[in-house]
Amino acid sequence: MTHALHRVVAFRKVGPFVLAVSFADGTEQAIDFRPVLNGALFGALREECVFDEVTLDAEAGTLVWPNGADFDPATLHDWPTVRDELTARASGWA
């Protein structure tokens, strides 16, 4: 069984809480993070000034925030197929 490894290589802000994320395989996803900004870790990112502190961790190949929040790059890559499930899970994060 093979599992594709994805790496974020760049990103840019395209709207409030929306990033265009580019991957090493040449694909790009426009991701609206608002539906998953809940709970102790991700809830802090609901403040746009905090969300905008996102950086690229080139070693891990993903997006990170100063409070330790991050997303698996495979989740970001496959966002259209995982968004609904992740949003449902995030609604229960307190």
**44 part of a folded domain:** yes
**2 part of a folded domain:** no
**40 part of a folded domain:** yes
What's the CATH code of the domain at 38?
A: 3.30.2020
Would you state the pLDDT for residue 52?
98
pLDDT at 3 over 70: no
**What are the φ and ψ backbone dihedral angles of 36, each rounded to 5 degrees?**
-110, 10
Closest by CA to 72, choosing from 14, 7, 25, is: 7
**54 part of a folded domain:** yes
Number of domains in the chain: 1
Would you state the pLDDT for residue 1?
53
**82 part of a folded domain:** yes
**84 part of a folded domain:** yes
Burial of 85 (0-12, 13-18, 19+ CB in 10 A): exposed
Cα(93)–Cα(22) distance, integer angstroms: 28
Range of the domain at 86: 8-90
**1 part of a folded domain:** no
What is this structure's pTM?
A: 0.91
